[in-house]
């Protein structure tokens, strides 16, 4: 008899599957989507079964046998396996690497039980006793065993031993009795630990949806399986309530499950709290700070159906929920949904594909939708839902622009001018008013550190030795730091280039603003939130909780403070410098700036006291600024879309960025040129369906010691682009220099 063969995806950088024989002992455990342990080049590896095989891959070689299949249920059900295959194809990434990226790290290791996972003893029913007569007979002289048996039944047939013993006040002996009679078995199970459970979930506020919210919920309930909705709601319009009401229907009326994606979970504890307040223990929070063991626990709880809502950042799109009914993508425009390393997927796009596979409905929510999603809603690919007003008749805050070119007070003493470049007179007065009234303020500066860079009078800038980027000056501890590679060095007294002595700091960072605030408002309680103050696992939530409790007067921070916060006592939002990022050499620079300004402005005036926004800028006429001032998303779209059509960039077409990097500058340039020549030859055959730009040095020419060149592919349709990318990655011969590396980024969020 010929052995049964299956194709297995292994986490190796090869575009192929591997064929293994299924030993008879594992025949039930091995099915499409199961994890298997297989021998591969003298070691054991974890792979995923893709499906049955006809042995065509073997080429006459005798197949090796699968060593183990550790899971009771396949790790990848049908919809997830299909998503993995789609990702492998679309992002041109080996399917084994894609599938491994979709699993919790603890499940990618070739070991039966992960030692990082604490286990507990659980009791499981082994045999049903259907009739009452049978039951009476079996438990005639064992009433305690009967009570245990029936409690276990009522708990779904499985429960921790400790819990049962406590509930019944019985001894372990009763448990052993049931086991001895073959009615139940004791097994070891991972313990669930969810650190978010330590946060007290506030009771759900009794709110009635507004007419607009109600209409949106009704549309979602009527949504066809696999369809996508774009929920465009201005800040404070109550998008979260729409999600909650729709999910109540999905969970309670339809008995389905859901996934909720948020840009960064540490930044959105309030949003998570609101879901937990409504759905309690059904929620699994997939936090990036979870240990491998904790993540594994949550994953298992979702797979078992003990948890039915997975909330998390982009990788939560792979959560193994059963009977998926809905996927919410909150703040769908956020760049954090794009994974920065291979496979470079966009969680929003993966969500849409997964929903199609599972027959679920996708809700993309934002006050400032990405131009891609907006265009898809205009073309009818997505259904547009709008929440045009703030709830409770609240209005959007008034926005004032402070033109820093005229506000810095020419003719004023130099010290005053320097101060006014950071804190203009109107902003200082506005802060004063808030402090006097006991109200809170948010201040945004999207640049951390003390000073952006250090320069000598000749204009020599202190740069990173490993990256083509200037070093940022930090205080406490005092040093120069590279934000790309973390290289740090002491601040030198003289210029390394010319020996000049007067080294000057340029460009203000959050540390400097903090010091200035402390000087100007000595009694104010100032909190700073940026990468440097939030390295602890719960640092974000702690700072935000302090703001919520009214223990902070001024919250100063980078873009971290722009998202999702809902503090009614915040009546002032100040933007220290709106121009940070506006001139980056990237096609999305304007869109990013508009989104950031709109989002942070939306944090003001969410309570009955109202609020105002002050934006300091040197480019008050830029449409990213003027449209944010007017809270006018539609006008922004109408001004930005033409700019993205000529020369064409997304959403006018699709992009792929091919980056070639290496240690030798000339070698990289030469390789980029031959790659471009290679691709150009293939493009002729495609008669213009794909065009090639470059090669050229990347905007950041060197990172971590590696020189970087890139080529950009543009196409209006997806298929020819996939074809070219695939041919290039599988057929182009990299020069033998081993340090050369090619990365491919489809639908890049930035071209840096």
Angle CA 95–96–101, to nearest 5: 95
Query: Between 414 and 443, how does the x/- string for binding to ligand ADP read (CB under 6 A)?
Result: ------------------------------
Alpha helices in 461-538 (DSSP H): 510-520
Structure tokens at 273: 């709290």
The verdict on whether omega for the bond into residue 713 sits within 30 degrees of 0, i.e. cis, is no
If binding is defined by CB under 6 A, does position 268 make contact with ligand ADP?
no
Q: In whole angstroms, give the CA distance from residue 624 to residue 627.
A: 6
- Closest Cα partner for 587 from 741, 747, 738? 747
* Binding site partner of 235, from Zn ion, ligand ADP, none, Cβ cut-off 5-8 A by kind: ligand ADP
Taking the CB of residue 99, how many other CB atoms lie within 10 A of it? 30
Burial class (CB in 10 A: 0-12, 13-18, 19+), 135: middle
Q: What minimum distance in Å lies between the beta carbon of 288 and ligand ADP?
A: 22
Q: What minimum distance in Å lies between the beta carbon of 188 and ligand ADP?
A: 42
What is the DSSP-derived secondary structure letter of residue 167?
A: H
* Binding site partner of 158, from ligand ADP, Zn ion, none, Cβ cut-off 5-8 A by kind: none
Q: In whole angstroms, give the CA distance from residue 568 to residue 545.
A: 13
Stretch that binds ligand ADP, among 239-247, 282-290, 510-518, 720-728 (CB under 6 A): 239-247
C-beta of 35 vs 239, nearer to ligand ADP: 239
Residue identified by tokens 């974890």 is 46
CA atoms lying within 13 Å on the CB side of residue 600: 32
List residues near Zn ion by CB under 5 A. 464, 466-467, 482, 484-485, 487
Q: What minimum distance in Å lies between the beta carbon of 704 and Zn ion?
A: 6
Taking the CB of residue 429, how many other CB atoms lie within 10 A of it? 11
DSSP string, 47-58: EEEEEE--STTT
For 464, phi then psi, to 5°, come to -70, 135
Stretch that binds ligand ADP, among 23-31, 209-217, 525-533, 729-737 (CB under 6 A): 209-217
- Closest Cα partner for 747 from 605, 588, 564? 588
The answer to whether 697 and 668 are in contact (CB under 8 A) is no
Q: What minimum distance in Å lies between the beta carbon of 750 and Zn ion?
A: 18
Stretch that binds ligand ADP, among 33-41, 121-129, 238-246, 704-712 (CB under 6 A): 238-246
Judged by CB under 6 A, the residue of 96, 190, 238, 611 near ligand ADP is 238
C-beta of 466 vs 619, nearer to Zn ion: 466
Q: In whole angstroms, give the CA distance from residue 555 to residue 441.
A: 6
If binding is defined by CB under 6 A, does position 595 make contact with ligand ADP?
no
If binding is defined by CB under 6 A, does position 233 make contact with ligand ADP?
yes
Q: What minimum distance in Å lies between the beta carbon of 663 and Zn ion?
A: 15
* Binding site partner of 241, from Zn ion, ligand ADP, none, Cβ cut-off 5-8 A by kind: ligand ADP
Q: In whole angstroms, give the CA distance from residue 703 to residue 340.
A: 14
* Binding site partner of 566, from Zn ion, ligand ADP, none, Cβ cut-off 5-8 A by kind: ligand ADP
The answer to whether 166 and 160 are in contact (CB under 8 A) is no
* Binding site partner of 233, from ligand ADP, Zn ion, none, Cβ cut-off 5-8 A by kind: ligand ADP
C-beta of 429 vs 486, nearer to Zn ion: 486
| Binding-residue total with ligand ADP (CB under 6 A) | 17
Q: In whole angstroms, give the CA distance from residue 728 to residue 681.
A: 11
* Binding site partner of 257, from ligand ADP, Zn ion, none, Cβ cut-off 5-8 A by kind: none
* Binding site partner of 368, from ligand ADP, Zn ion, none, Cβ cut-off 5-8 A by kind: none
Q: What minimum distance in Å lies between the beta carbon of 201 and ligand ADP?
A: 14
Q: What minimum distance in Å lies between the beta carbon of 387 and ligand ADP?
A: 7
C-beta of 303 vs 598, nearer to ligand ADP: 598
Q: What minimum distance in Å lies between the beta carbon of 707 and Zn ion?
A: 13
* Binding site partner of 30, from ligand ADP, Zn ion, none, Cβ cut-off 5-8 A by kind: none
Q: What minimum distance in Å lies between the beta carbon of 658 and Zn ion?
A: 23
What lies within 8 Å, CB to CB, of 116 at 6+ separation is 106, 291, 292, 293, 296
Q: What minimum distance in Å lies between the beta carbon of 236 and ligand ADP?
A: 5
Residues in 548-567 that interact with ligand ADP by CB under 6 A: 566
C-beta of 235 vs 617, nearer to ligand ADP: 235
Q: In whole angstroms, give the CA distance from residue 529 to residue 514.
A: 10
C-beta of 239 vs 348, nearer to ligand ADP: 239
CA distances from 423 to 403, 445, 453, 572, 596 (A): 12, 12, 20, 14, 20
DSSP string, 16-39: S-EEEE--GGGTTT--TT-EEEEE
If binding is defined by CB under 6 A, does position 366 make contact with ligand ADP?
no
* Binding site partner of 372, from Zn ion, ligand ADP, none, Cβ cut-off 5-8 A by kind: none
Structure tokens at 618: 């040197």
Q: In whole angstroms, give the CA distance from residue 21 to residue 7.
A: 9
If binding is defined by CB under 6 A, does position 240 make contact with ligand ADP?
yes
Residue identified by tokens 């500058």 is 665
C-beta of 393 vs 477, nearer to ligand ADP: 393
Q: What minimum distance in Å lies between the beta carbon of 702 and Zn ion?
A: 8
For 51, phi then psi, to 5°, come to 165, 180
If binding is defined by CB under 6 A, does position 571 make contact with ligand ADP?
no
- DSSP helix, strand, coil percent of the chain (3-state; round to 5): 35, 25, 40
Residue identified by tokens 């009433």 is 143
C-beta of 133 vs 205, nearer to ligand ADP: 205
* Binding site partner of 545, from Zn ion, ligand ADP, none, Cβ cut-off 5-8 A by kind: none
If binding is defined by CB under 6 A, does position 276 make contact with ligand ADP?
no
Stretch that binds ligand ADP, among 28-36, 158-166, 206-214, 369-377 (CB under 6 A): 206-214
Query: Between 210 and 229, how does the x/- string for binding to ligand ADP read (CB under 6 A)?
Result: x--x----------------
If binding is defined by CB under 6 A, does position 236 make contact with ligand ADP?
yes
Q: What minimum distance in Å lies between the beta carbon of 560 and Zn ion?
A: 22
Reported as type and span, the H/E element at residue 375 is helix 371-378
Q: In whole angstroms, give the CA distance from residue 44 to residue 46.
A: 7
Structure tokens at 572: 């002032």
Query: Between 374 and 393, how does the x/- string for binding to ligand ADP read (CB under 6 A)?
Result: -----------------xx-
Q: What minimum distance in Å lies between the beta carbon of 565 and ligand ADP?
A: 9
CA atoms lying within 13 Å on the CB side of residue 31: 10
Judged by CB under 6 A, the residue of 145, 227, 237, 268 near ligand ADP is 237
Taking the CB of residue 153, how many other CB atoms lie within 10 A of it? 12
Q: What residues line the site for ligand ADP (CB under 6 A)?
A: 205, 207-210, 213, 233, 235-241, 391-392, 566
């Amino acid at each position: 008899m010929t052995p049964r063969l299956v194709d297995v995806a292994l986490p190796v950088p090869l575009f192929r599957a591997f064929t293994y024989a299924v030993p008879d002992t594992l025949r039930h455990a091995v099915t499409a989507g199961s994890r298997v342990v297989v021998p591969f080049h003298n070691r054991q590896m974890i792979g995923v079964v893709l499906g049955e095989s006809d042995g065509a891959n073997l080429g006459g070689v005798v197949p090796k046998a699968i060593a183990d299949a550790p899971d009771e249920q396949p790790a990848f059900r049908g919809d997830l396996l299909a998503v993995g295959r789609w990702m492998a194809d679309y992002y041109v990434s080996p399917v084994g690497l894609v599938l491994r990226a979709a699993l919790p790290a603890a499940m990618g290791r070739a070991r039966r039980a992960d030692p990082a996972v604490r286990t507990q003893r659980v009791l499981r029913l082994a045999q049903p006793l259907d009739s009452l007569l049978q039951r009476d007979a079996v438990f005639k002289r064992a009433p305690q065993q009967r009570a245990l048996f029936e409690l276990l039944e009522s708990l779904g047939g499985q429960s921790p031993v400790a819990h049962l013993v406590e509930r019944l006040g019985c001894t372990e002996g009763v448990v052993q009795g049931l086991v001895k009679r073959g009615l139940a078995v004791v097994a070891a199970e991972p313990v669930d630990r969810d650190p978010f459970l330590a946060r007290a979930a506030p009771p759900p506020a009794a709110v009635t949806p507004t007419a607009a919210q109600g209409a949106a919920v009704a549309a979602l309930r009527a949504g066809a399986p696999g369809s996508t909705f774009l929920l465009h709601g201005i800040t404070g319009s109550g998008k979260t309530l729409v999600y909650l009401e729709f999910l109540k229907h999905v969970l309670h009326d339809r008995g389905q499950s859901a996934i909720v994606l948020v840009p960064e979970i540490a930044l959105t504890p309030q949003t998570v709290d609101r879901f937990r307040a409504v759905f309690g223990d059904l929620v699994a929070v997939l936090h990036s700070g979870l240990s491998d063991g904790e993540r594994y626990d949550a994953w298992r709880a979702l797979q078992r159906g003990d948890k039915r809502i997975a909330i998390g950042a982009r990788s939560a799109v792979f959560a193994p929920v059963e009977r998926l009914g809905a996927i919410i993508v909150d703040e769908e425009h956020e760049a954090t949904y794009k994974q920065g390393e291979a496979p470079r997927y966009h969680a929003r796009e993966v969500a849409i594909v997964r929903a199609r596979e599972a027959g679920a409905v996708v809700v993309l929510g934002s006050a400032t939708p990405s131009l891609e999603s907006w265009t898809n809603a205009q073309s009818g690919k997505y259904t547009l839902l709008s929440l045009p007003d703030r709830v409770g008749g609240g209005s959007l805050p008034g926005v004032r622009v402070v033109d820093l070119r005229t506000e810095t007070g020419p003719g004023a003493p130099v010290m005053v001018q320097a101060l006014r470049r950071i804190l203009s007179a109107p902003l200082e007065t506005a802060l004063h008013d808030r402090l006097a009234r006991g109200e809170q303020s948010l201040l945004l500066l999207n640049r951390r550190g003390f000073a952006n860079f250090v320069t000598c009078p000749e204009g020599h800038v202190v740069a990173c030795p490993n990256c083509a980027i200037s070093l940022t000056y930090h205080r406490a501890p005092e040093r120069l730091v590279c934000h790309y590679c973390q290289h740090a060095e002491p601040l030198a007294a003289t210029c390394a280039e010319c020996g000049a002595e007067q080294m000057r700091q340029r460009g203000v960072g959050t540390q400097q603003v903090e010091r200035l605030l402390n000087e100007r408002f000595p009694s104010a309680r100032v909190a700073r939130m940026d990468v440097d103050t939030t390295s602890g696992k719960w640092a974000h939530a702690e700072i935000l909780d302090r703001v919520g409790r009214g223990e902070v007067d001024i919250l100063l921070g980078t873009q971290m403070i722009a998202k999702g916060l809902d503090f009614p006592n915040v009546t002032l939002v100040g933007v220290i410098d709106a121009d940070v990022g506006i001139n980056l050499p990237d096609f999305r620079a304007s869109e990013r700036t508009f989104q950031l300004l709109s989002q942070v402005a939306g944090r003001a005036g969410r309570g009955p006291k109202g609020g105002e926004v002050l934006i300091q800028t040197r480019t008050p006429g830029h449409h990213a600024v003027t449209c944010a001032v007017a809270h006018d998303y539609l006008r922004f779209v109408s001004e930005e879309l033409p700019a993205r059509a000529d020369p064409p960039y997304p959403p006018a077409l699709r992009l792929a960025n091919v980056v070639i990097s290496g240690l030798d500058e000339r070698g990289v340039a030469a390789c980029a040129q031959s790659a471009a020549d290679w691709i150009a030859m293939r493009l002729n055959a495609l008669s213009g369906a794909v065009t090639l730009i470059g090669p050229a040095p990347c905007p950041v020419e060197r990172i971590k010691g590696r020189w970087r060149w890139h080529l950009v592919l543009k196409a209006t349709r997806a298929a020819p682009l996939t074809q070219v990318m695939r041919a290039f990655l599988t057929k182009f011969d990299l020069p033998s220099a081993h340090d050369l590396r090619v990365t491919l980024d489809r639908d890049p969020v930035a071209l840096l």
